[in-house]
Structure 1
């Protein structure tokens, strides 16, 4: 374990803060400028569409009656604590995992704040093809997905061979 937080993955925590700020600012902009279900076409395959997600990814458990809010709150807090602990235990030079963990933490906290403030997560990024729409999402969701992909990528990378000290 690194001797100080500056030598550990905690040095990357600024990424979580940036993700959180970008996520919350974008959601506040949507709440201030859109009515629920209002949609603005940006590109032939992309809209800004304000929707509320009471569940998790792809509206999983969105109609569960309300208890899911607290389950997803506990999961977000739990993952953030565990990933922060892991960040402290690894070197700041492990960029891929540090970036992955901080992206997930920033996204989890961004959606956590929505759940606690509103009881739902604000989603607004809407990709589609013809009449088929991908479920709407937000910056926090994007950060969580990119972080998960980086973790998977890291799991498949070859470990660097350790330098062997010459015997005297």
Structure 2
């Protein structure tokens, strides 16, 4: 028996959030590509720089030092992940917290997939640091995924 998915008219707000995050991510990366050379750094304030890098791998540049096979692997993996997240969202029906959490993750996954399709890599540019210690450089899509994961952990913690 096929499972029926629930589509509520209120999904429009989640679609709007997803499109907004994808748009902000796309144009922020486009600005970086047009205004900063690769590896160029621009100080914003004492803990934040813009730093233009290309990530040919996954999170934290995992697989980036491979000889190119990872591009296709990550394209396929990202596409499958997006399909799975869409199915998860549709199964939650009226659980707005879970739908919102997964919408953040979905928007980040789609935005980074767009980069992989357009450029063969993901554009990263947000460099958070404390003095000489730098966190991994990331982008709006990565931050969206991070926020979604935090929301899921919070929901699971308070619902257990």
TM-score normalised per structure 1: 0.86
Q: Is the 8 A contact 1:22 1:139 kept in 2?
A: yes
- Do structure 1's residue 73 and structure 2's residue 70 form an aligned pair? no
Q: Which residue of 2 aligns with 1:34?
A: 36
Count of aligned pairs between the two proteins: 158
Shift of 1:129: 1.3
Shift of 1:8: 7.1
Shift of 1:141: 0.3
Shift of 1:2: 8.2
Shift of 1:140: 0.3
Q: Deviations over 1:124-157 (max 9, x none)?
A: 0001111111111000000011111111222222
Q: Which runs of 4+ in 1 moved over 3 A?
A: 1-4, 7-11
CA distance 1:95–1:4, shift in 2 (3 Å): closer
What is the DSSP-based 3-state SS (H/G/I as helix, E as strand, rest coil) of the residue aligned with 2:136? coil
Q: Which residue of 1 aligns with 2:110?
A: 109
CA distance in 2, matches of 1:27, 1:69: 19
Q: Is the 8 A contact 1:8 1:88 kept in 2?
A: no
CA distance in 2, matches of 1:28, 1:37: 15
CA distance 1:151–1:101, shift in 2 (3 Å): same
Higher gyration radius (CA): 1
TM-score normalised per structure 2: 0.90
Q: CA RMSD in A?
A: 2.0
Shift of 1:95: 2.2
Q: Which residue of 2 aligns with 1:153?
A: 154
